[in-house]
Amino acid sequence: MRVVTITLVASTALVGTFGVVVGKMIVEGLLDAKTADAMKQVVAGTELLKDNVKQVPDPQGDPALRNNLPNLVAGLARGNQEGFSVVVVPSGESNVPLTAQPDASAYWQLSDGFKRQVAAGGFIQQRAAIDVAGAGVQPYLVFGRTITARTYQLEVYYFFPLDYEVRAAELVRNILFATGTALVMLLAAMAFLVTRMVVSPVRVAARTAQRLSAGLLDQRMEVHGEDDLAALAASFNQMAENLQRHIQRLEEMSRLQRRFTSDVSHELRTPLTTVRMAADLIFTERDGFEAPVARSAELLQAELDRFERLLTDLLEISRFDAGFAVLDAEPTDLVPIVHRVVDQLRGVAERAGVDFELILPDEPVIAEIDPRRVERVLRNLVGNAVDHGEGQPVQIRLAVADGVVAVTVRDHGVGLKAGEEKLVFNRFWRADPSRARQTGGSGLGLSISVEDARLHGGWLEAWGAPGKGAQFRLTLPTRAGEHLTSSPLRLVPDGVSTSPVVIRQTVGSDAPRGAAPQTDILTAGSGEPR
C-alpha cells in the first residue's frame, strides 16, 4: 500500500503538471491563432475603410462624408462568417458610434483607458468580458485602431467572440483530465501488480521465518523459476536446512550432556556414600592419629562436603533440565527463613570480617512458597555477598506489599563490571575465578536460584557497579500462581548518587525452561522498570 500510494501521489502530481502545461499551451496556441487571424482582418478592414472614405465624393465637405460613413461601416461586416462586429466612432464624437451591427452595446462596456489609448492613435488589443443580451457575459477579443482619411479621423473597434476557443479549451481540459485520470489509475494498478509480485514472496519468507522461529524447522519456501526471487527462496531454504541441522545437532549434544550429567551424578552417589562412611569413621577417630594424619582427615571431610554439595547441585540442575522439578508450595513465614540463613552463614561471615544488617518487618510475612527452595536461593545470595563483600557489611531487607514479597541482599564489595550482567546467572561462572572463596561454591548457585524463582513465578534480578557493590532482589507472589507486575523494594540501592549501570537478569513465570535471563539496562534514579 505504501508503494502504491507513493506511485499514485507521484503520478498524479506528474500527470497533473503535464496536463496543466499542455492545456495551457493548447489554449494559448488557439488564442494566438485567433489573434493573428483577427489582426489580419482588422488591418484589411481598416485599410479598406480608409480607401473607401477617400473615394467618396465630397461636394459639401466633411458633412457629406459623415452621411456616407454608415454605409461604409456596414460594408466592413459584409460576408462576416465569424460573427464579429465593428464600431466606428468619429474622433471627438464618442457619444455617436456607428456600428456594422444593430447593437453597439459592446462599445459602451469598454474601459475609458482603452478608448483613450485608441484615440491617441494606437493600435490596441485586449481580451474583455462583454455582456451580450440574452447570452450573458461572453469573452471577446477587442481591437482598436485610429485611421485618418482626408481631414477626418476615425476610431475603429473590432469585437471578435471567443466562444469557439472557450469550447475548445474546455474540451481540451476534459480530455486531459479524463486521460490523466485513466493514466494515473493505470500506473497505480501496475504498481500494485508489480509490488505484489515482489512482496508476495517476501511475505511468504516472513511467514516461513516465523514458523522456523516457533520451532517448526521443516518449513520451506517454494521455488519457482530462476529469477532473483527464486534465488532468494533457494538461499532461504538452504539457510533453513543448515539451521535445522545445527539446531538438531546442538539439541542432541545438549540432550547427551544433560543425560551425562544426570547419569554421572547418580552413578557417583553410590561410591560417594561408601567413601563418606569411611571418611566419617576416620574423621571421628582423628584425635588418635598423628597431627598430619588428623589434618588429612579434616581436609578429606571438608572436600567430601564440597563434593557432595556439587553433586547435589548437579542433580538439581538435571531435574530442572528434565522438567521434573516440582514446587511444594505452602504458607510460610519468610522472616524465620531469613534468620535461619543468616545463622547458617554467620560463622563464614565472621571469618571474612562481614557483619549482617537485617531490615525485617516486625510482623510475620506469609507467602505460599516452597521453603526449601527459597531458603536455598537466599543462602546462595547471602553467601555470594559474603564472598564478594570485601569485609563490608551485608544488608538484607524484607518487605511485602500488594500481594508481593521481596528480599534484597546488598553488599559493598567489588560489584559487577560492564558485560558481567550477561554472565552472572550462567552455570559455572564466577566473577573472579582467582579469588579465594570462603564457601567453596560450585558455580551453580545462581543458576539454580533462577530456576527456583521461575518455579515460584517470581523474578531474580541483579544490580551492580564497579566499586559500588551489588544488590540482588528476589520477588515472589504471596499467592502461588499470581502474576507479578511490581516489587515492593527498589532494585537500585538507596543512596547511590551517581548513575551506575543497572544490571537486570530476570526470569519470569512465562520464561521457557532453561532460558537465559533477560537483561535490562537502567540508570540510578530512573525509576523502577516494573
Same domain, 94 and 43: yes
- Which residues is 461 bridged to in the sheet? 473
| Residue 63 belongs to domain spanning | 2-169
Q: Are residues 291 and 335 in the same domain?
A: no
Please check whether residues 303 and 345 belong to one and the same domain: no
CATH number of domain containing 87: 3.30.450.20
Query: What is d(CA 224, CA 233) in angstroms, rounded to the nearest whole number?
Result: 9
One domain for residues 444 and 379: yes
Predicted confidence at residue 281, as pLDDT, reads 85
Which of 322, 339, 359 is where one domain is finished?
322
Residue 209 lies in a domain: no
Those residues whose C-beta lies under 8 Å from the C-beta of residue 454, and which sit 6 or more positions away, are 507, 508, 509, 511, 513
Q: Which three cell numbers stand for residue 383?
A: 553467601
User: Residues 475, 458: contact at Cβ < 8 Å?
Assistant: yes
Q: Is residue 212 situated within a structural domain? A: no
Q: How many domains does the chain have?
A: 3
pLDDT digits (tens, 9 = 90+) for 203-227: 888 888 888 777 777 778 777 777 7
272 lies in a domain?
A: yes
Does 162 lie in the same domain as 302? no
- The region, left, alpha or beta by phi > 0 then psi within -120 to 50, assigned to residue 528 is beta
Q: Are residues 248 and 282 in the same domain?
A: yes
Task: Using the predicted structure, report yes or no on whether residue 78 has a pLDDT greater than 50.
Answer: yes
Q: Where are the beta strands (DSSP E) in 11-135?
A: 85-90, 98-99, 123-132
Which pLDDT score is estimated for 405?
Answer: 93
Identify whether residues 370 and 494 lie together within a single domain. Answer: yes
- β 123-132/501-506 pair status: unpaired
**Which residue in 446, 465, 466 sits closest to 506, CA to CA?**
446
pLDDT score of 62: 56
Domain boundary residue among 133, 152, 169? 169
Q: What are the C-alpha distances in Å from 155 to residues 99, 149, 167, 415, 499?
A: 11, 11, 31, 106, 94
| pLDDT for position 319 | 72
- pLDDT given for residue 389 in this prediction: 83
Do residues 347 and 454 share a domain? yes
Same domain, 163 and 43: yes
My answer on whether 375 and 439 are in the same domain is yes
Strand duo 123-132 + 136-149: pairing: antiparallel
The position carrying cell 538439581 is 316
DSSP code of residue 159: E
In this predicted structure, what is the pLDDT of residue 300? 86
Confidence of residue 503 (pLDDT cuts 50, 70, 90): very low
Statement to judge: residues 422 and 310 lie in one domain: no
Q: What is the pLDDT at residue 475?
A: 92
Q: Is 141 within a domain?
A: yes
Mean pLDDT of 113-126: 83
**512 in any annotated domain:** yes
Q: Per-residue pLDDT for 524 more than 80?
A: no
DSSP string across 349-396: HHHHT--EEEE--SS--EEEE-HHHHHHHHHHHHHHHHHHSTT--EEE
Give the CATH number, domain containing residue 354.
Answer: 3.30.565.10
Looking at the domain assignment, is residue 201 inside a domain? no
Does residue 70 contact residue 60 with C-beta atoms inside 8 Å? no
Same domain (yes/no): 370, 517? yes
Rounded Cα–Cα distance for residues 143 and 118 (Å) = 9
Terminal Cα distance for the chain, rounded: 38
C-beta contacts of 348-354 below 8 A and 24+ residues apart: 348/383, 348/386, 348/438, 348/439, 349/386, 349/394, 351/438, 352/386, 352/387, 352/389, 352/391, 352/438, 353/391, 354/385, 354/386, 354/389, 354/391, 354/392, 354/393, 354/394
More confident site: 449 or 90: 449
Q: What is the pLDDT of residue 30?
A: 85
CATH, residue 278: 1.10.287.130
- Quick one: pLDDT band at residue 414, thresholds 50, 70, 90? confident
Mean pLDDT of 354-363: 90
The count of C-alpha atoms lying within 13 angstroms of the C-alpha of 131, restricted to the half-sphere facing its C-beta, is 4
What's the confidence (pLDDT) of residue 12? Answer: 86
Cα–Cα distance between 477 and 404 in angstroms, integer?
5
The answer to the question of residue 406 being in a domain is yes
What pLDDT was estimated at residue 103? 58
C-alpha dihedral sign at 253, 255, 258, 264? negative
Evaluate whether residue 197 is within a structural domain.
Answer: no
Single residue among 280, 305, 322 that ends a domain in this structure: 322
SS3 128: strand
